[in-house]
Structure 1
Amino acid sequence: MPKRLDIELIAPSGYAEDRAACHRGIERLQAAGHRVHGTEVVDRVMLRFAGTDAERAADINRLVDPGKPLPDLVMAICGGYGAISLLDRLDFDGLAARFVDDSCVLVGHGDFTAIQCALYARSGIGSLHGPMLVQDFGAGYLRENTWRHFWQTATSPRTEMSWVCGDDQRDLLVEGTLWGGNLSALCSLAGTPYLPSIPGGILYVEEIGEQAWRIERLLFELKLAGVLDNQRAILVGGLGGQRVSEYDNGYDIEHALQRFGRSSGLPILRGLAFGHGPDKWTLPFGAPAMLSVVGGAATLTASGYRHSGALAGGPPAPA
């Protein structure tokens, strides 16, 4: 009998504008046999946020309570903005003590990057950069590959993903700690105690709605802040929403990445779908990983990360 999970919803950032998607996502998770808790967070609204700072921080700090069993999964409902204002309110020592011997897994992407970085930097807690309730599980059309890879990664100690990164990508074999997330969120933590120092890392970045020059500037911000020192490769996910203006004179995201690649000297790989966008792989933040490229075909494997135990291959994807 496949294991069914207890899933706790949290809302650390923006409020869920699409309530129909919320309910659709909850129903899909329940139809797969999972128990979904914390559904009241989908109805909280305060300005552009899913509640006050105190309410949103309390969603996470409640995990410290020894009188309440930890869920198998803690899932952010959506991104937006607001997670950074919670960081000074989180009980990192309590979370570290509570999670040390437990398999509870946190998952999200976008603005949730700030929480993931802070948890790793201050509590040593790894997490999953993966799908969320509204955009993914509640989408009008559920992407089967996204669903299946998430459950496989969330419930086993090893995951693998392969993609085509182009014939112009030189062959490569590197090992390091897999980490990263939304580019703007990462840059917002530079110079703070909430951005982890990860020598020998394999950094993944993604963004949505930022122009090519802005992407290049954010990457240079990480470089000049020393964040990229001793990184071994950068994986670039979706960078949707760019517009090329007349003033750009043809300058686009390809030029931005080429210019930055020459300056940084780091291998920059594209083609892996994660973060914003309808299709996404699930990446274990903080996991030991190996990245190989042979003939333009890339493979990323990660293992030894926090997971929720065997799920017998994961539930089938609902319609």
Structure 2
Amino acid sequence: MSSSTTPPHACGPACTHEHQRQGPQHIYVYSPSGAVRDKAAFKRGIARLRALGHGVEIDPSALQSHQRFAGDDATRLAAIERAARSGADVALIARGGYGLTRLLDQIDYRLLEHAVAQGTQFVGLSDFTALQLALLAQTGTTTWAGPALLGDLGRPEEPDDIMLACLDDLLAGQGEGAGWCCPKEKSLPEGQDIYVDDATLWGGNLAMLCALVGTPYLPPVQGGVLFLEDVAEHPYRIERMLTQLLYAGILGQQKAIVLGQFTDYQLSGHDKGFKLASVVDWLRSRLAVPVVCGLPFGHVPTKVLLPVGARVSLSVEGRDALIYWGHI
């Protein structure tokens, strides 16, 4: 967005304000999904949070392992409850992977709702999408799609500046939006600028969202802004999952679909030109709902934080896009 239309606290590539590191915050790190195999990344992430001046509390079962999970089901349910009772400013997942869908019928959603009301912000992505959407469906509670400890703060390279700035904004309670530039090859047709006002922002990992279709853990959002991302899924699999959401009537009930980053897949000679842009073109041909691309969110270093369940506005002018939640 131009400087005349970008809110002063819009976090992300279009951010115009100068960030200042926030004072010490209480961050609770827990493992509700996959086992932590990369202990070095775990230690780097903790060290970096502490170097930023934050107090980090590590859940006692954060490094446990049972099969592919961070402990058995009872262990991980207890970790979620401890995170909710911690009184922390932020409850941050160690990593995603798989494991939360099998817990959804046993989670104390009222406990998590109370924790958020008392000021704890739950942050994560990937497998965490299942818990976020279930909590939204069960209680209407807002959580944050954002970084995980290992993949974002514990990576060998320095953490991404934009991601850190957005995390700072969350800790300071001053973030108001996320702006980005849509990729030229996937931008809206010329002259099709859009503006959506007062819509529920929801979504996350595409595979996790599809896994909730037909269950009481998928929020029945109509007239929302649905954002989606995924990793290691070939474009034909992405199209297949989008087709499921299309046929289920979910996509057509939204005011806009916003596609984030789809990464770590490999095309082959068999595709004969079929690629992610082909999926976008096909989806636009089947929907009257606008499809916006390029959101800096997903399994990538540069990611914004997004309030899942909040009321937002979405504007797209040319290639400049902005999701704004400054009123919450």
> Same fold judged by TM-score > 0.5?
yes
Which residue of 178, 191, 194 maps to 1:161?
178
Equivalent residue, structure 2, for 1:136? 152
Aligned length, in residue pairs: 301
Distance across 1 between alignment mates of 2:36 and 2:116: 31
Counterpart of 1:24 in structure 2 is 44
Q: How does 1:280-299 map to 2 (within 5 A)?
A: 280-299=303-322
* Alignment root-mean-square deviation, CA: 1.8
Which residue identity does 2:124 align to in structure 1? Answer: G
For residue 120 of structure 1, give the secondary structure of its aligned residue in structure 2.
Answer: helix
Distance in 1, matches of 2:324 and 2:156, equals 30
Q: Which residue of 2 aligns with 1:112?
A: 128
**Percent identity, aligned pairs only?**
37
Matched residue, 1:316: none
SS in 1 for 2:36: coil
| Partner residue, 1:308 | none
Provide the residue aligned with 1:49 in structure 2: 69
Q: Separation in 2 of the partners of 1:173 and 1:272?
A: 16
Residue 14 of structure 1 and its aligned partner are, at CA, apart by 0.7
Match of 1:273 in 2: 296
1:82 Cα offset (Å): 0.8
Q: What TM-score, normalized to structure 1?
A: 0.89
Q: CA shift at 1:303, angstroms?
A: 3.3
Matches within 5 A, 1:1-319: 2-63=22-83, 68=85, 70-96=87-113, 98-99=114-115, 101-141=117-157, 142-156=159-173, 158-166=175-183, 168-169=187-188, 170-175=192-197, 176-305=199-328
- TM-score by length of structure 2 reads 0.87
Structure 1 regions of 5+ residues with no counterpart? 306-319
Question: Is 1:158–1:304's contact at 8 Å kept on the other side of the alignment?
Answer: no
Letter in 2 for 1:17: R
Larger deviation, residues 290-299 vs 49-58: 290-299
Q: CA deviation at 1:265?
A: 2.1
Partners in 1 of 2:164 and 2:283 — Cα distance?
A: 33
Go from structure 1 to structure 2 and tell me whether the alpha carbon gap of 1:296 and 1:69 turns closer, same or farther (over 3 Å shift).
closer
Return the alpha-carbon distance in structure 1 between the equivalents of residues 149 and 297 of structure 2. 15
Q: CA deviation at 1:58?
A: 1.1
TM-superposition CA deviations, 1:257-285 (whole Å, max 9, x none) = 11012112221111121121111111111
Counterpart of 2:49 in 1: which secondary structure? Answer: helix
CA distance in 2, matches of 1:225, 1:157: 37
Counterpart contact for 2:251–2:257, Cα < 8 Å:
no
Give the C-alpha shift of residue 100 in structure 1: 6.3
Query: Residue in 1 aligned with 2:8?
Result: none
User: Which residue identity does 2:164 align to in structure 1?
Assistant: W
* Superposition deviation, residue 209 in structure 1: 0.6
> Does the CA contact (< 8 Å) of 1:287 and 1:303 recur in 2?
no
List runs of 5+ in structure 2 lacking aligned partners.
1-20
